[in-house]
Amino acid sequence: MNRKLMEILACPIDKHFPLELVELASKEEIISEGIIFCSKCSRYYPIIEEIPIMLPDELRDKNQDIEFLNKHRNILPDKIIVKGIPWHL
């Protein structure tokens, strides 16, 4: 995902803008792994293989979400691990 995309992205659930970005792996302007976080509704959206997965809760792959969070558990902020939705779904 190109870092400049953050200038236009809004939460698909509550339309909140701006969103927070946690970069886990990047090269220059391309983010290959990370998390986009909505501070209004506490939802997170993973960036996997340069693709932000910004789907409604019912369309998300919960196993993929759990695997991603477990993989990066030690470096992600607590607000994502503890309060992030759909982590509790």
Q: In this predicted model, what pLDDT tens digit does every residue of 41-80 receive, in sequence order? A: 999 999 999 999 999 889 999 899 989 999 998 999 988 8
Whether residue 47 lies inside any domain: the answer is yes
Whether residue 87 lies inside any domain: the answer is no
* Cis bond before residue 18 (omega within 30° of 0): yes
Average pLDDT over residues 12-35: 96
Domain carrying residue 26? 3-81
Whether residue 86 lies inside any domain: the answer is no
Q: Quote the pLDDT of residue 89.
A: 47
Write down the mean pLDDT value for the chain. Answer: 91
pTM, two decimals, is: 0.89
Average pLDDT over residues 1-11: 96
Question: Considering its fold, how many domains does the chain have in total?
Answer: 1
Structural contact between residues 18 and 11, judged by C-beta atoms closer than 8 angstroms: no
